[in-house]
Amino acid sequence: MKIGIVGLGLIGGSLGFDLRAAGHEVLGVSRQTATCEQAIALGAVDRASAEFELLSAAEAIFLCTPLGVMPQTAEALVPYLSPAAILTDVGSVKASVVETLEPLWHRFVGGHPMAGKETAGIAAAQAGLFANRPYVLTPTARTDSEAKATLEHLIRALQSNYYECSPAQHDRAVAWISHLPVMASASLIAACQQEPEATTLALAQALASSGFRDTSRVGGGNPALGRMMAQYNREELLRSLQIYRQSIDRCILLIEQHRWDDLERHLTETHQARPQFADKA
Interface size with its own copies, residues (CB under 8 A): 99
Rounded CA gap, 182 and 18, in Å?
29
140 binds its own copies (CB under 8 A): no
Rounded CA gap, 166 and 146, in Å?
17
**Residues from 229 through 248 that contact its own copies (CB under 8 A):** 230-231, 234, 237-238, 240-248
Rounded to the nearest whole angstrom, what is the least distance from the CB of residue 276 to its own copies in the complex?
Answer: 5
- Which residues partner with 70 through β-bridges? none
Rounded CA gap, 32 and 48, in Å?
10
Residues 151, 124 contacting (CB under 8 angstroms): no
- Based on the number of CB atoms within 10 Å of its own CB, is 257 exposed (0-12), middle (13-18) or buried (19 or more)? exposed
Rounded to the nearest whole angstrom, what is the least distance from the CB of residue 120 to its own copies in the complex?
Answer: 14
145 binds its own copies (CB under 8 A): no
The number of beta carbons lying within 10 Å of the beta carbon of residue 95 is 21
221 binds its own copies (CB under 8 A): yes
The gap from C-alpha 171 to its chain's centroid, in whole angstroms, comes to 11
Rounded to the nearest whole angstrom, what is the least distance from the CB of residue 13 to its own copies in the complex?
Answer: 20
**Residues from 179 through 198 that contact its own copies (CB under 8 A):** 180-195, 197
Strands (E), the chain: 2-6, 25-29, 47-49, 60-63, 86-89, 108-113, 134-138, 161-164
User: Which of these ranges, 3-11, 29-37, 101-109, 271-279, lies near its own copies under the rule CB under 8 A?
Assistant: 271-279
Site string for its own copies, 98-137 (x = CB under 8 A): ----------------x------------------xx-x-
Compare residues 79 and 261 and give the one whose CB is closer to its own copies: 261
Compare residues 39 and 174 and give the one whose CB is closer to its own copies: 174
User: Which of these ranges, 29-37, 51-59, 82-90, 170-178, lies near its own copies under the rule CB under 8 A?
Assistant: 170-178
The gap from C-alpha 132 to its chain's centroid, in whole angstroms, comes to 15
**Residues from 1 through 60 that contact its own copies (CB under 8 A):** none
Compare residues 28 and 167 and give the one whose CB is closer to its own copies: 167
Rounded to the nearest whole angstrom, what is the least distance from the CB of residue 187 to its own copies in the complex?
Answer: 4
**Cα 189 to Cα 123, 195, 216, 263, distances in angstroms:** 30, 11, 6, 24
